[in-house]
Homo-oligomer: A and B are copies of this chain.
Amino acid sequence: MKKIDTAIARQAFDHALLTHDQAFGEFFLAKLLGFTISYPTDMCRVEFPVLDFMFNPQGSLHGGIVALAMDVSMGHLLNRLHGPGATLEMKVQYLGPIRSGNVVAIGSVLRRGRSIAFLESRLTDADGALAAIATATWKVLPISPRSAGAPTT
């Protein structure tokens, strides 16, 4: 039986329980996965450490976690630029396995229209090598009058 490092996982979990807030930037999954989210010009950057509780059965970062981080890098960017959206579809290509270190996903906008936005994200591994790319199509949700003046993230 192969176990993960339970101390590290417990620390991540307890920290997430304590610090999360179900809003952009602070929601539980982002905290559990240790996401540091920032906004360089016209982009959203999601950095997180690859820990063994995020692994697939073959001992590398699970493709679903990669997808989650890239989705966050696009959704948070769209939210910052406009307001909340909904992912209509996302495609991720996995260029190779990732086993350790910090990875960084950078989301950017390809085109944003009134009702539809096209975004992409690129994820690099600890050596800065491209490890995954994603493209997605988002539905731009109408902004409610209350939130219109005050972008959330």
Contacts and interface: CB of A to CB of B under 8 A. Distances in A.
Nearest to A32: B53
A130 to B, nearest CB: 6
Given A28-B9, A29-B53, A92 B94 contact: no
Q: Count copies of this chain in the complex.
A: 4
Contacts of A89: 89, 91-94, 135, 137
14 contacts: A3-B21, A3-B22, A4-B20, A22-B57, A27-B55, A29-B65, A57-B84, A58-B86, A62-B71, A67-B67, A89-B94, A95-B110, A110-B133, A135-B135
Interface string A78-92: 010000101111111
A64 interface: yes
Interface residues of A, number: 63
Contact of A135 (B3, B17, B52, B93): B93
Nearest to A68: B64
Nearest to A30: B57
A133 B120 contact: yes
B17 A9 contact: yes
A91 B88 contact: no
A71 B90 CA distance: 13
A32 to B, nearest CB: 8
